[in-house]
Structure 1
């Protein structure tokens, strides 16, 4: 049965050519990030040549060098590790918080629902980027603090979706049967309702990774990221003063961010088409 479901998912996902293309791009970015220490074993922040070597001029530095003489290709590869790690863990943090809040609010209802939803609305009223920057400034410019900051501003949409799914499922026959059998509330939530609510949550979580990349890039662009680690946003920030003369320093990481975020959004759309029964035969 599970093999049949998996085959159906793969078949439905593969019908979306844009999603398949996005998945290929995401796999390529992950592969570059994983192989970065082998492709560029030296510290990517090390000065290796004269400043502002344009791309495709020197074969030793295929993407050129920045204003300090650092290899842009090395910074892109190592920056992929930083950006993807922060975005993935931030998305996991947001998903854990959002699912916990949404499931608790919907299942128990009453005062728990009212309090948790008011807290969710409070978080939504604060401008997300300003909230992220404030948290990073308070906690310090470290990777784990950026993860916490991004996770704390991106969980609200997941919480609302989880609540809506749980409200739909909590009165179904199989849930009522579990209550009749005397199963505990948390066993029903984790073992019965949550697995049935997961497909749309998975889709939204995959899309939140793309949003986390943008937040991380914004933080690094403004100089609030970890100064000892290469990052795509930091590379754009370092090259902004030379945008008129050496625009490629900003354009290359900018295009990398754009393509990666677009690919993740395409994968999210493909997951939605494959997991949503209303869209499978579209």
Structure 2
């Protein structure tokens, strides 16, 4: 049974894909539905949803269109999530593969570095990096990826430790294949499934981290994001709760969709679960 067929039989994967498709449509249609700058003043502040047909989801505390910020915020969150996930997975794979394949002092040194990163809470380390390197949107994506690579590294290392002495690896060594080819062309494809599944966790976590930074006023203020909108809504939470509630719901839907897809991938790529199916 192919991976796509397995995913098609997973209710969690189907629900997650539908929810994520909604967010993707929001991101893709933002420029068409709202051609103007989403951060520009559009009308009277704090107009309630559906009170004005020009602003179906209302306006925020300074008169910006909430719907426009939600749609453009989908672009921001997905971009940050994607870049951060790629950075974290690439770093984690390289570190974990080298540690698991070579072992000995290389494994010890790389794992000590990994443990050093893990001793500091991810969000605290992220705050430090943002203070040092700034809060530009691309910088945020890279720094979130940098604080998220330790778990993929440990997962990759564990897979390499179980695979490095298998018969096919011994055969490659007997044929004189260089280590880099054995690592990246022979062992890594067999070690990737759990790492790919965990990538969904990294992406969801990255979106939440950016929202938390924006809530604290440490995200890029020149970019429309869900976290920035929640931060603005915090000041008017008692009088205009929709300003913070709407982006919070979209964040919930996005993170839930990614988590459900990850669960579906786990079900599809787990051999024991496939045999039960």
TM-score band by shorter chain is: over 0.9
- Give matches, 1:129-278, under 5 Å: 129-278=123-272
What is the Cα deviation at residue 135 of structure 1? 0.5
1:10 & 1:87 partners in 2: Cα distance?
A: 23
Output one character per residue of 1:13-43: Cα deviation in whole Å (capped at 9) or x when no partner.
1222122011111122112102211111100
Aligned to 1:4: none
1:28 & 1:172 partners in 2: Cα distance?
A: 44
- Give matches, 1:101-120, under 5 Å: 101-120=95-114
What is the Cα deviation at residue 133 of structure 1? 1.2
**Per the alignment, in what secondary structure is the counterpart of residue 278 of structure 1?**
helix
The runs of 5 or more residues in structure 2 that have no matched partner are none
> In the alignment, which of 44, 53, 67 is matched to residue 73 of structure 1?
67
2:131 & 2:77 partners in 1: Cα distance?
A: 19
Q: TM-score of the superposition, structure 2-length normalised?
A: 0.98
Q: Does 2:81 match 1:87?
A: yes
**Per the alignment, in what secondary structure is the counterpart of residue 273 of structure 2?**
coil
1:119 & 1:207 partners in 2: Cα distance?
A: 22
**Per the alignment, in what secondary structure is the counterpart of residue 147 of structure 1?**
helix
2:51 & 2:259 partners in 1: Cα distance?
A: 34
Output one character per residue of 1:213-232: Cα deviation in whole Å (capped at 9) or x when no partner.
00011111111111111010
- Give matches, 1:26-105, under 5 Å: 26-105=20-99
Q: TM-score of the superposition, structure 1-length normalised?
A: 0.96
Output one character per residue of 1:237-281: Cα deviation in whole Å (capped at 9) or x when no partner.
011011111111000000110111011000000000001111122
The runs of 5 or more residues in structure 1 that have no matched partner are 1-6
Q: After TM superposition, where is structure 1 displaced by more than 2 Å over at least 4 residues in a row?
A: none
Question: How many residues of Structure 1 are paired with residues of Structure 2 in the alignment?
Answer: 276
